[in-house]
Amino acid sequence: MSAYILVALGGFFGAITRFSLSTMIKRIWPITFPLATFFINSIGSFLLGWIVGIHANLHMQWLVGTGFMGAFTTFSTFTLESIQLMQQRKWGVLLLYVGGSYSVGILCAFLGMALSSTFA
């Protein structure tokens, strides 16, 4: 199967999954902190770390790594929400969101890679 088709299929399902999960989280926890994006990007970091850690074949990398994870995680929403927090002058929430997103994202990717070697 072509790389473009695999990336497109993964992207379709990643976008649908992100939209569904984000909508559900925002409905359950309607708070100031952008929890949905934080959670989704953290899970995506872990799963991408896992994919790298298991040394997935090229087709799986295209389907899941590039396609699904590329559409599931969202840097653009992260930056927009950060700007909105700045505009609202919610400095504490902004620092927690930005600092936590990078720290937790790196930690989750590391854990995904580390745990994949344990269970693979």
DSSP 8-state assignment for residue 32:
S
Q: Count of alpha carbons within 13 Å of 77, Cβ hemisphere only?
A: 18
80 contacts: CB under 8 Å, gap ≥ 6? none
User: How far is it, in rounded angstroms, from Cα 111 to Cα 120?
Assistant: 14
Question: What residues are designated binding site?
Answer: 70, 73
* Residue 117: predicted pLDDT: 81
Q: What does the pLDDT average to over 84-102? A: 96
* Amino acid at site 14: G
Residue 31 clears pLDDT 90, i.e. is over it: no
Residue 102 clears pLDDT 90, i.e. is over it: yes
Residue 119 clears pLDDT 80, i.e. is over it: no
Mean pLDDT score of the chain, rounded to an integer? Answer: 93
Question: What residues are designated binding site for Na(+)?
Answer: 70, 73
pLDDT digits (tens, 9 = 90+) for 56-92: 899 999 999 999 999 999 899 999 999 999 999 999 9
User: How far is it, in rounded angstroms, from Cα 56 to Cα 4?
Assistant: 18
Residue 107 clears pLDDT 70, i.e. is over it: yes
Give the range among 15-19, 29-33, 35-39 with minimum mean pLDDT.
29-33
Q: What does the pLDDT average to over 19-24? A: 95
Residue-by-residue DSSP string for 58-75? HHHIIIIIIIIHHHHS-H
- φ/ψ region of 2 (left if φ > 0, alpha if ψ in -120 to 50, else beta) reads beta
pTM above 0.85, yes or no: yes
